[in-house]
A and B are shown apart, each in its own frame.
Chain A
Amino acid sequence: MIVPIVRTALMALRRDRPALAMSFILPIGFFSIFAVIFGGQRNSTHKINVILVDQDRSRSSLELARGLEREDSLVISTRPSSKEKAAAPPDYTAATAEAAVKAGDAPVALIIPAGFGQNPISFGGNQNGPAIQLLSDASDMIAPQMVGGLLQKAAMTAMPTAMAEQGMKYTDQYIGGFTPEQRKTMDANLGYLRNMETKDNADSSASAAGSSGSGGLVAVKMRSVVGENKNGNMISFYAAGIGVMFLLFTASNSAGSLLEEAESGTLDRVLSSRVTMTTLLAGKLAFNTLLAFAQLVVMFLWAWAVFKLDLFTHIPGFVVMGLCTAFAVAAFGMLLASICHTRAQLGALSTLVILMMSAIGGSMFPRFLMPPAMQKAGLFTINGWAIDGFTKVFWRDLPVQDLWQQVSVLLAVGIGLFLIARRIARRWEFA
């Protein structure tokens, strides 16, 4: 009895070739995506963009800057990137660097303050001079820690003269001073060390490898400039990420009613009335948009009630992003439903596409922790743009007008997908 049951199920599956294909494509697709995201990190962590502002312009600060530039895992910028033919923009200042971190241009900014070169080294935590400021975006918990560590490493390897001078200064101070002869020998050795440094700096291919020790050689004051007043967890990020993913599932499921109506003959009956296909699809798009927005509202209200998300001070941004996101996912659902011929096909295809988009777009794993190529790939997903927009609203506290990019893309995507869905839906119009 079992064999005929298996045979019948197999025959049914074989007849639904798209569903059969999806059964195998889905796991392969997912395996590939996660292999790219995580497998790409096997040998190295992706590079971190760091904005550097040198207010000191001393020998020590320049040496430190050069040391940081030699780090393979850092990309140091002292000025915003310029377009090919545009004039070079001015160097970052402390204020513009902070604004850039807030805007999400880089996760970390280092500001070497004026006077740093007087006492660059702070052995044992003694801080005689001004400390380097490390400004960070708290949404990226890894980048500031990594940059802080590499900063200490750079101090150790790139400023031997400063370290020696500072060490001798302390020795002179605490053991009662050097004899003139000792001071003469010391100066001679320091001169040799400076020559070596100059030679090293001239060699652009000098290896950055060296001691990995870091014990607070330079004083660093870390400060989160984004999210410093937020809850430590990333509630808004996850509310947006998970929310958009489930919105996509809801939208595709809801749009699937079109297939049910086509199968039952209800669609034919509706289209024999005054309702045209465009009106019908527009009506379903409107319903699915409202449904998706209501789902977002419930999710963010839950995040507010349970996880203390600061929803009510961000209402305009939330409404704008929520409606645009809901519109785009609703149109996406309409497209999937119009492509598929059966509910089974829709289920398989939507699972495949939505999970892939969610993985690439950052619903499952923050995009800023992905390799750069994957971060760019995320821009081809609704999730990526929606999460970016919600992050701007809830994390960066940016005003509504700063959402124009995300709003434009999501609306354009929604309109585009709807038009394609309308074109494909012609197959239901007439036999």
Chain B
Amino acid sequence: MKTRSATQPYDPIPLEVASLVKRFGQITAVDGISIELRSGECLGLLGPNGAGKSTLIRCIVGRALADAGSISVFGFTVGTSEAREALGWVPQELALYPRLTCRENLGAFGSYHGLSGSKLAQSVAWCLDWAALGDRAGDLVKNLSGGMKRRLNMAAGIIHRPRVVLLDEPTVGVDPQSRNRIFEMIEALRAEGTAIIYTTHYMEEAERLCDRVAIIDHGRIVAQGTNRELIQSSFASRSQVLARFAGPTDEIAAWVERHEGRLVDGAAEFTIEQSTQIAGLLDDAAKAGLELVDVSLRRPNLESVFLHLTGRELRD
């Protein structure tokens, strides 16, 4: 592990993870992951449940001990007080005190980070405002809506104003309106120069919020880059055709397989080089006796990239 004392030169890179390995018995949850995060950057960790995203986050925040590899936060080893203060963690669970009010929760977590007096009061006020919970500051957590709890959960993770924030699926179980509010909160953090790691298995969230995306599967990063880079590397200029047919499912499946496509949610999906290939596909379908219901052409997205790289859907 890389170590550095408080007196050593300041490392401008907020977070560096190198060849990290974490095993639980026979299972390797994180298998040699390396990432680098820059100030003001939002890095998305995209992968299905069980891919190793949360374990990676827990290693970074010091709640799980890595079996190999290194993690440094502004040059400081994970677990040091400097690293702890630089990191803010928003866990997937609602890690709050249900019998305390919003203000009391923020006050408690702020004091755990060493804040006190007017500094703590200012920080609590800022967080309440950031999470749009100023008018609910005196309400008990158990009386808040799901979305409000999620926002308070985020606020409690950044009460000490960290420069690196780890958000572990912060939108789980919230309605679209609350989700948009959470996106705005994250964008406000980015605007201040905070480096963010955002784990999700929602492609749309990664596309909207993240500058770069690391696709994780079975504890490994299978691809990393901007949205455009990832799509370009997997599909180049190719497009995708989605076609729905009426008729016996086994006949449709056999036909799709013959044309090197795949069935996704009942629709046949093909990757094509030229749009002129669509006519040929549909003509062949008609000859095979399949009745076309609808057809569409689309540019590949992150979900397509994930499917292309892993052979599985994000929500598998």
Pairing of A with B: yes
A positions within 8 Å CB-CB of B: 264-266, 268-275, 430-431
Residue among B61, B89, B95, B98 having the largest count of chain A Cβ atoms under 10 Å: B95
Residues of chain B contacted by A274 (CB below 8 angstroms): 81, 84-85, 112-114
The reply to whether A270 and B112 form a contact with Cβ atoms under 8 Å apart is: yes
The reply to whether B89 and A272 form a contact with Cβ atoms under 8 Å apart is: yes
The reply to whether A430 and B63 form a contact with Cβ atoms under 8 Å apart is: yes
Contact A431 B63, CB 8 Å, known A272-B89, A273-B112, A273-B113:
yes
Interface string of B183-203 (1 = CB under 8 A from A): 000000000000000000000
The reply to whether A264 and B112 form a contact with Cβ atoms under 8 Å apart is: no
Partner of A265, one of B64, B81, B95, B98: B95
Tell me whether B93 is interfacial, beta carbon within 8 Å.
yes
Question: How many A-B contacts are there with CB distance less than 8 Å?
Answer: 52
The reply to whether B63 and A272 form a contact with Cβ atoms under 8 Å apart is: yes
The reply to whether B84 and A273 form a contact with Cβ atoms under 8 Å apart is: yes
Partner of B94, one of A264, A273, A275, A431: A264
The reply to whether A269 and B89 form a contact with Cβ atoms under 8 Å apart is: yes
List of 9 A-B pairs having minimum Cβ-Cβ separation, nearest first: A265-B93, A265-B95, A273-B112, A269-B95, A431-B64, A266-B95, A430-B65, A275-B112, A273-B113
Closest Cβ of chain A to B85, distance in Å, is 8
Interface residues of B in 127-174 (CB under 8 A from A): 156-157, 160
Tell me whether B21 is interfacial, beta carbon within 8 Å.
no
Q: Kindly list 11 other residue pairs between chains A and B, CB separation below 8 angstroms, not including A272-B61, A431-B24.
A: A264-B96, A265-B93, A268-B95, A272-B87, A274-B112, A274-B113, A274-B114, A430-B63, A430-B64, A430-B65, A431-B58
Contact A265 B112, CB 8 Å, known A272-B61, A431-B65:
no
* A77 CA to B112 CA, complexed, in Å: 61
Chain B: which residue is nearest A428 at the CB level? B63
Contact A269 B65, CB 8 Å, known A264-B93, A264-B94:
no
Residues of chain A contacted by B85 (CB below 8 angstroms): 274
Chain A: which residue is nearest B105 at the CB level? A266
Partner of B62, one of A264, A266, A270, A272: A272
Contact A266 B96, CB 8 Å, known A272-B87, A431-B63:
yes
Residues of chain A contacted by B156 (CB below 8 angstroms): 269
Tell me whether B270 is interfacial, beta carbon within 8 Å.
no
The reply to whether A266 and B97 form a contact with Cβ atoms under 8 Å apart is: yes
Residues of chain A contacted by B109 (CB below 8 angstroms): 269-270, 273
Contact A268 B112, CB 8 Å, known A274-B84, A431-B58:
no
Tell me whether B91 is interfacial, beta carbon within 8 Å.
yes
Interface residues of B in 265-294 (CB under 8 A from A): none
Residues of chain B contacted by A271 (CB below 8 angstroms): 63
Residues of chain A contacted by B89 (CB below 8 angstroms): 269, 272
Residue among B24, B62, B87 having the largest count of chain A Cβ atoms under 10 Å: B62
* A217 CA to B92 CA, complexed, in Å: 85
Closest Cβ of chain B to A284, distance in Å, is 13
The reply to whether B91 and A269 form a contact with Cβ atoms under 8 Å apart is: yes
Chain A: which residue is nearest B87 at the CB level? A272
Closest Cβ of chain A to B26, distance in Å, is 16
Closest Cβ of chain B to A29, distance in Å, is 34
Residues of chain A contacted by B113 (CB below 8 angstroms): 273-274
Residues of chain B contacted by A275 (CB below 8 angstroms): 112
Residues of chain B contacted by A430 (CB below 8 angstroms): 63-65
Chain A: which residue is nearest B55 at the CB level? A431
The reply to whether A269 and B94 form a contact with Cβ atoms under 8 Å apart is: no
* A272 CA to B156 CA, complexed, in Å: 12
Residues of chain B contacted by A269 (CB below 8 angstroms): 89, 91, 95, 109, 156-157
Residues of chain B contacted by A266 (CB below 8 angstroms): 95-97
10 chain-A/chain-B pairs, Cβ below 8 angstroms? A264-B93, A266-B96, A268-B91, A271-B63, A272-B61, A274-B81, A274-B84, A274-B113, A430-B64, A431-B24
Chain A: which residue is nearest B81 at the CB level? A274
Residues of chain A contacted by B114 (CB below 8 angstroms): 274
Residues of chain A contacted by B61 (CB below 8 angstroms): 272
The reply to whether B63 and A264 form a contact with Cβ atoms under 8 Å apart is: no
Residues of chain A contacted by B91 (CB below 8 angstroms): 265, 268-269
Residues of chain A contacted by B94 (CB below 8 angstroms): 264-265
Residues of chain A contacted by B87 (CB below 8 angstroms): 272
Residues of chain B contacted by A268 (CB below 8 angstroms): 58, 63, 91, 95
* A332 CA to B156 CA, complexed, in Å: 32
Residues of chain A contacted by B58 (CB below 8 angstroms): 268, 431
Contact A272 B93, CB 8 Å, known A430-B64, A430-B65, A431-B65:
no
Chain A: which residue is nearest B112 at the CB level? A273
Closest Cβ of chain B to A43, distance in Å, is 55
* A264 CA to B93 CA, complexed, in Å: 7
Closest Cβ of chain A to B171, distance in Å, is 16
Residues of chain B contacted by A273 (CB below 8 angstroms): 84, 109, 112-113, 160
Interface string of B78-107 (1 = CB under 8 A from A): 000100110101011111111000000000
* A270 CA to B87 CA, complexed, in Å: 13
Residues of chain A contacted by B62 (CB below 8 angstroms): 272
Residues of chain A contacted by B160 (CB below 8 angstroms): 273
Chain B: which residue is nearest A265 at the CB level? B93
The reply to whether B64 and A272 form a contact with Cβ atoms under 8 Å apart is: no
